[in-house]
Amino acid sequence: MLSKIKSKSKGWIAYFIVGLITIPFALFGINQYFTGPSNLVVAVVNDDEILQDAFFMEFNSNKRRLQQQLGEQYDPQIDNIVKQSTIDNMVNQRLLSQLAEKLGYATSTDELQIAIQANEIFHKDGKFSMEKYEQLLRLNGYNVQSYESARLDELTQGQIKINLLGSSFIMPSELDKLQKLNDQERSFSYIQIDANDYLDKTTVSEKELEDYFNENKPLFIEPNKVKVNFIELSVDELAKDISISEDELANLYEDEQERFSTDEERKAQHILVETEETANKVIELLNSGSSFSELAKTYSLDTGSKENAGDLGFFTKGVMVPEFESTVFGMTQGQLSSPVKSEFGYHIIKLNKVIESTLKSFDSVYDELVKLATRKAAENELYNIADQLANLSYELSLEEAAEQLNLNVKESEFFDQSSSKYEPSFVKAAFSDMVLNKGENSEIIELQSKKSVVLSLSEKRPERQKELSEVSDEIMDTLNTDKAKLLVDDLALKVTDLFSKNNNESAKSFMDNNNLEWIEVDWVKRNAQNENPDIVRRVFALSKPVDGAPTYSFQSIDSRISIVFRLNEVKTSNTEPNTELARAVLGFESDEVFRSILKSLRDSEEVKVYSELL
């Protein structure tokens, strides 16, 4: 309860989007909005209507969240994917709500409050904060009533999953086998052969170069490129030419005293009770010598502080609720207050310590003042120049605008739309219709590097087929690597074949002739952290040794690496199956059942979506 008082203390893109949207509401764990009536229905789930207003509230929320995460990569075309994912998720929610109602599932108010207060997103200083709770709801388009209604619905739906988990089972013998597999250890050796070590043993002819180029011409197309002229305004550059007088620094010091001051802090303890009568009784007991600590444990309703003598620690102004704050900051050290009424009840406050506000000296913050004053002056100058530049570049050429403002016009290198040399907003503006096709100056663009630019097209190059001479080195590297990889594959396969046929002496001689060595690895488990995870995964996929004879395997890891594996031994423990493993296995099982139920609901229930209204 008192947590509110202290609440102010200090191809792939589509899959990615669908994944983000199907995760219930990122902050709170729900994905449903409540809104006013609308006469437009975008979907009907049995007899339950999804209104257009509700859909657009959720769609816009998902869209904003994706735009924040994807930044410049968010494209208007993504809207269609977001819309489809949003309506699919809303339909699923309605289907689950209807199923939960049919099954008679319900969630009590107490269960709802426990779930909300356990959500760390609403915590401040380790405790549930009512003010943070309400603030986050407002920021995300909720009020308390709508959020708690939606959360209640979600918790009820969640009981379907919980009951699936409760009804799933696994035979003890199966669990025992899984435990043994999980705890299994393996001892192995491996030879790693890298194609890069054999590049000097390969040659590529001119004909091979030409053939590869002719067969793979689409790989060697240079995309559209542009070169732009631009005027750049930089706060850092403008700051270099700015000097600040002592008078300006002195005035800034006066204006910014709050910045250079430490806030007054007060340390207090309190006892929170429900009625004024109880508060007066507690004050009488305190005045008669009773322990504040013991009375806090006995009477205080503030569960967050009662076990700690009601101690609230140090706090500054703006932290506590107004009634509490006005009282405690009007008290003297050691004073006991009369009952103070707030929305939580009645407080008995004891002020234990006061740390006065202090102002840092002018000399101690001199360098910070210079930086602050310079920065402010540079930002003001940039704002003024940018305003003038925006007007001039709208009417004049970039060169004329630069001349009038005594600025320089810079020129970029050629770059394409996938370039990482320039910031995404810079590249986007360069390839905009305004600049690329109409030949106009861009609007002023703010860059992340604290710069602003206006740009215009200098030159553009259309897409073109590269010449063989331009890419011959690249092709040469590719063909050499491919040939070297064939060599290492042959070496690895030969070693594996010799050992597998028990031609151990021939195999060892072959290894010596080719400077190959085993890398020995002692016992490891599946989750070994000190070995390459990919290698460990492949080792645990090998068949167990038979009759004490090692298992050999050759595997091509990637375009360069080939590995010969020798699995020496496998051992298992007699550990009893643990509950964590059982729950994990059952969790996988219930997840599959849950997905099947959802698919069955979509197939069997009456669902209509009016896509033209989305």
17 or 522, which is more confident: 522
Mean pLDDT of 545-558: 90
Give the domain-ending residue among 461, 490, 509: 461
pLDDT in tens, 47-89: 888 888 788 878 877 877 777 677 667 776 787 888 888 898 8
232 located within any domain = yes
CA 144/CA 132 separation, integer angstroms: 12
Report whether pLDDT(397) > 90: yes
User: Of 316, 342, 359, which closes a domain?
Assistant: 359
Number of separate domains in the chain: 4
Domain that holds residue 450: 225-244+368-461
Among the ranges given (34-43, 64-73, 195-204), the one the predictor scored with the smallest mean pLDDT: 34-43
Look over the chain and give the mean of its residue pLDDT values, rounded to a whole number. Answer: 82
The whole-angstrom separation of Cα 98 and Cα 95 is 5
Is it the case that residue 216 has pLDDT exceeding 90?
Answer: yes
Same domain for 157 and 21?
A: yes
Q: Residue 281 sits in a domain of what CATH number? A: 3.10.50.40
**Domain identity same for 489 and 452:** no
Are 137 and 16 contained in the same domain? yes
Return d(Cα 24, Cα 559) in angstroms, integer: 40
Predicted pLDDT of residue 290 = 93
434 and 480 within one domain: no
Is the pLDDT at 14 greater than 80? The verdict is no
- Tell me: do 90 and 32 sit in the same domain: yes
Q: Residue 446's pLDDT is what? A: 87
Closest by Cα among 445, 388, 381, 378 to 236: 378
Same domain, 25 and 160: yes
Q: What is the largest CA-CA distance in the chain?
A: 105
Q: Please, which pLDDT band fits residue 282 given cuts at 50, 70 and 90?
A: very high
What would the mean pLDDT of 366-385 be, rounded to a whole number?
A: 87
Instruction: Please tell me which residue, 614 or 295, carries the higher pLDDT value.
Output: 295
Which of 323, 340, 359 corresponds to the end of one domain? 359
Is residue 609 located within the same domain as residue 566?
no
What are the pLDDT digits (tens) for 305-331? 888 899 988 888 877 888 999 999 999
Residues with Cβ within 8 Å of 443's Cβ and at least 6 positions away in sequence, in order, are 390, 429, 434, 454
Q: Are residues 288 and 332 in the same domain?
A: yes
In a domain, 587, yes or no: no
Write down the pLDDT at residue 187.
Answer: 92
**pLDDT of 547:** 85
Does some domain include residue 250?
A: no
- Whether 105 and 238 map to the same domain: the answer is no
What confidence score (pLDDT) does residue 173 get?
55
CATH of the domain at 29: 1.10.4030.10
Within-domain flag for 73 = yes
Whether residue 45 is predicted with pLDDT greater than 70 in this model: the reply is: yes
* CATH code assigned at 428: 3.10.50
The predicted model gives 186-200 an average pLDDT of 94
Lowest mean pLDDT: which of 4-18, 103-117, 298-312?
4-18
**pLDDT-based confidence at 132, cuts 50/70/90?**
confident
Does residue 588 fall inside a structural domain?
no
Residue 598 lies in a domain: no
pLDDT one-digit tens code per residue, 463-478: 999 999 999 999 999 9
Claim to verify: residue 8 and residue 127 sit in the same structural domain: yes
Domain co-membership, 426 together with 528: no
7 has pLDDT over 80:
no
| 576 in any annotated domain | no
User: Beta strand 311-315 with 445-447: parallel, antiparallel or unpaired?
Assistant: unpaired
What is the predicted pLDDT for the residue at 198? Answer: 94
**Same domain? 395 vs 478:** no
Closest CA to 518 of 197, 190, 187: 190
Q: pLDDT band for 589, please (50, 70, 90 cuts).
A: low
Please name which of 610, 601, 611, 589 lies closest in space to residue 93, comparing C-alpha atoms.
Answer: 601
The mean pLDDT of 419-445, rounded to a whole number, is: 92
Per-position DSSP letters for 184-205, written without gaps between them: -EEEEEEEEEEGGGGGGG----
DSSP for 285-340? HHHTT--HHHHHHHH---TTTGGGTTEEEEE-TTSS-HHHHHHHTTS-TT-BPPPE
Measure the CA–CA gap between 238 and 591, rounded to whole angstroms: 59
Q: Is 381 exposed, middle or buried (0-12, 13-18, 19+ CB in 10 A)?
A: middle
Take residue 74 and report the two structure tokens written for it: 């968010």
Between CA 520 and CA 512 the distance in angstroms is: 17
Residue 413 lies in a domain: yes
